[in-house]
Chains A and B, each alone.
Chain A
Amino acid sequence: MSTGVMDKSLELELDDSMFELVPKEQKKLNEMVRPSMSYWQDVWRRLKKNKLAMFGLIVVILMTVIAILGPMFSKYNYFANDFTIANQRPSLEHWFGTDQFGRDIFVRILYGARISLIVGYAAAFISFVIGTLYGSISGYVGGVVDNIMMRIVDILLSIPMMIYVILLMVVIEAGLKSIIIALAITQWLGMARIVRGQIMQLKNQEFVLAAKTLGASRNRILLRHLVPNSMGPIIVTLTLAVPSAIFTEAFLSFIGLGISAPKASWGTLVSEAQQLYMIYPYQLFFPAIAICITILAFNLLGDGLRDALDPKMRR
């Protein structure tokens, strides 16, 4: 851009008519240039860019679909014993081979998927409902009430989960029910803390004060203002709670405190396979891989969500 010295061509273009006044257009002054995008659309756009997270998402969806529908398509079931085909290597007939009782391992893994995902999603759901309720009340009310409520959480957290499982086994026999109850008791604690932290951070923000000034009730403030604005960390915590629950269930089943045979949890499969894994490594390999991939997928998705939901990283 030159300073004051114009070239001939420009001078020629500037005839007198160019210097007529033009009235201001009032309407154009408030135009919006950029396309409308809600918060969640923006989150989705950012998530899509993260290849690993999308991989995790696809695997999670795939796994869920397979867990629901898979076993229906297989001609095998998970409990029939047939010693004639015991301990067979993977083949076209049995994609993952058979175990010591002649049961098709692939089908058993599919059923295991069902169990793992039921446990994972149930634990996440329970932790969401109870944790959010507890945490938001504690955070919002504050003061002595908050102090007491959080100390209760601290106490419950300090008791290892194994104790709950063992205590529960006295009342209910070891199985899916006791695992889910034990997980329910422990999973919501972490969520409660997170939600409480969020609520405490948000409750003094001006938009909450504005709602109070309008006369909004406590419930309205919690449900319409505080919780929706906390969804980011809540969703991330939920997504990461699932693999934690899955692993815990697998572990408990592995040591015999969870689902017992012939029901097929991945943990039980690993447990059964460990005796003979030197001779039949595939029996251990497939359930172990199943556990790893599932947990990895949820973790990748959770990490990706955490980045996508982070308001500071918005470009």
Chain B
Amino acid sequence: MQNNENFIEIKNLKKWFPVKKKLFGGHRSFVKAVDDMSFSINKGETLGLVGESGCGKTTTGRTIIKLYEPTGGNIIYNGEDISRLTSRHMLPYRRKMQMIFQDPYASLNARMTVGDIIGEAIDIHNLAKGKERLERIQYLLRRVGLNSEHANRYPHEFSGGQRQRVGIARALAVEPEFIVCDEPISALDVSIQAQVVNMLEDLQEDLGLTYLFIAHDLSMVKHISDRIGVMYLGKMVEIAESNELYIHPVHPYTQALLSAIPIPDPDEAAASQRIVLEGDIPSPIDPPPGCRFKNRCRFTKPICSEEEPELKDVGGGHLAACHLL
């Protein structure tokens, strides 16, 4: 099943977290972080996943690589259904799927040297020993633009951007095919963000990687992604090719999200009409029936409170879930 299309297929993925209720009485409540998501990722592409806090994008990323066990649905990796695999059988897949984390300060073990952090990846899968292992570590450090002589230093001696590079080197050490990038640049300075993004793009080209790029910085996501999916409260509300999404956003939430991006250009900023959404982002615990966005939507109709909209094709692979269509 070596297909470019549908390299990774997600079918009706659900991840619910139980909320501790009182010991007696009352029904069980769930935080429905990911609630029936279906989409696919093509080999070699970068799929962006955007949304605000509580939308479930981080949970989606972590569930896809089985950091969390899915509550329901299927994850099909290159034709193999890995949704129900036990941790022992997941081990070979742990080489193929990797993750880069958001916080450069918390994602590295402060007690280990940078060399050991990268080396651990090599050790777990027995990829090299002794001299070869050391050479691999040094190679990886250079690959991400760091000085290979710094392998004996500790994370706290590096800057945020450099730590993030160490995290990338760690992910690369197992020679993965697919990497979930969970907000990898949000915690970095602007000028460093560009460095890291460029490096990720170069690595993708050199190594043929596939990325799931999760972020809330929409400008950066558009820059790096081929296609973008927009999430709201555990559901995918729109998914389209990057340019298409920005030129023709269909879903009211996407429209509001795009208009809210601060534009680094004073004339354009003054000229643009901002759609300001009223209210706050609701909680993903036991969402009400119907469309989840109806409380903040400008265009609600009666049907929005009764039925949940399905993802419909509005032309050329551009999908959106809204009753207005």
Contacts of B99 in A (CB 8 A): 209-210, 213
Contact A229–B111 (Cβ < 8 Å)? yes
Q: Which of B6-14, B145-153, B243-251 contacts A (4 or more CB under 8 A)?
A: B145-153
Contacts of A205 in B (CB 8 A): 106
Contacts of B91 in A (CB 8 A): 215
| Binary flags per residue of B116-130, CB closer than 8 Å to A gives 1, else 0 | 000011001100000
Contact B174–A38 (Cβ < 8 Å)? no
Contacts of A36 in B (CB 8 A): 152-154, 157
Contacts of A224 in B (CB 8 A): 109, 112, 120
Inter-chain CA distance A182–B223, complex, in Å, is 66
Inter-chain CA distance A228–B116, complex, in Å, is 14
Quick check: is A73 within 8 A (CB to CB) of the other chain?
Answer: no
Residues from 168 to 206 in B contacting A, C-beta threshold 8 Å: 170, 174
Choose among A34, A207, A213 the residue that contacts B108 (Cβ–Cβ < 8 A).
A207
Contact B146–A30 (Cβ < 8 Å)? yes
Number of A interface residues, CB 8 Å?
23
Number of B interface residues, CB 8 Å?
37
Residues from 185 to 239 in A contacting B, C-beta threshold 8 Å: 205-207, 209-216, 220, 224-225, 228-229
Contact B110–A229 (Cβ < 8 Å)? yes
- If A215-B125, A220-B124 touch, whether A206 touches B102 (CB-CB below 8 Å) is yes
- If A34-B157, A209-B67, A209-B101 touch, whether A215 touches B106 (CB-CB below 8 Å) is no
Contacts of B103 in A (CB 8 A): 206
Quick check: is A39 within 8 A (CB to CB) of the other chain?
Answer: yes
Instruction: Give the shortest distance, in Å, between B161 (CB) and chain A (any CB).
Output: 11
Inter-chain CA distance A210–B94, complex, in Å, is 11
Inter-chain CA distance A224–B109, complex, in Å, is 9
Quick check: is A32 within 8 A (CB to CB) of the other chain?
Answer: yes
Interface centre among A32, A213, A228 (most CB of B within 10 A): A213
Choose among A34, A206, A215 the residue that contacts B107 (Cβ–Cβ < 8 A).
A206
Inter-chain CA distance A278–B317, complex, in Å, is 98
Interface centre among A30, A206, A216 (most CB of B within 10 A): A206
Instruction: Give the shortest distance, in Å, between B113 (CB) and chain A (any CB).
Output: 9
Interface centre among A37, A209, A211, A214 (most CB of B within 10 A): A214
Contact A39–B154 (Cβ < 8 Å)? yes
Contacts of B153 in A (CB 8 A): 32, 36
Instruction: Give the shortest distance, in Å, between B47 (CB) and chain A (any CB).
Output: 19
Contact A32–B150 (Cβ < 8 Å)? yes
Choose among B90, B152, B154 the residue that contacts A215 (Cβ–Cβ < 8 A).
B90
Instruction: Give the shortest distance, in Å, between B315 (CB) and chain A (any CB).
Output: 38
Contacts of B150 in A (CB 8 A): 32
Contacts of B90 in A (CB 8 A): 215
- If A38-B154, A39-B111 touch, whether A211 touches B120 (CB-CB below 8 Å) is yes
Contact B101–A212 (Cβ < 8 Å)? no
Instruction: Give the shortest distance, in Å, between A274 (CB) and chain B (any CB).
Output: 50
| Binary flags per residue of A53-85, CB closer than 8 Å to B gives 1, else 0 | 000000000000000000000000000000000
Contact A215–B94 (Cβ < 8 Å)? yes
Contacts of A32 in B (CB 8 A): 150, 153, 157
Contact B94–A214 (Cβ < 8 Å)? yes
B binding-site residues for A, Cβ under 8 Å: 62, 65, 67, 90-91, 94-95, 97-99, 101-103, 106-112, 120-121, 124-125, 145-147, 150, 152-154, 156-157, 162, 167, 170, 174
A210-B101, A215-B124 given; name 12 further pairs at CB < 8 Å: A30-B145, A39-B111, A205-B106, A207-B106, A207-B107, A207-B110, A210-B99, A213-B94, A215-B91, A215-B125, A220-B124, A229-B110
- Of all A-B residue pairs in the complex, the 6 with the closest CB atoms, nearest first, are A215-B94, A206-B107, A206-B101, A206-B106, A207-B109, A228-B111
11 pairs, CB–CB < 8 Å, chain A vs chain B: A39-B154, A205-B106, A209-B99, A213-B94, A214-B94, A214-B124, A215-B94, A215-B124, A216-B124, A224-B109, A224-B120
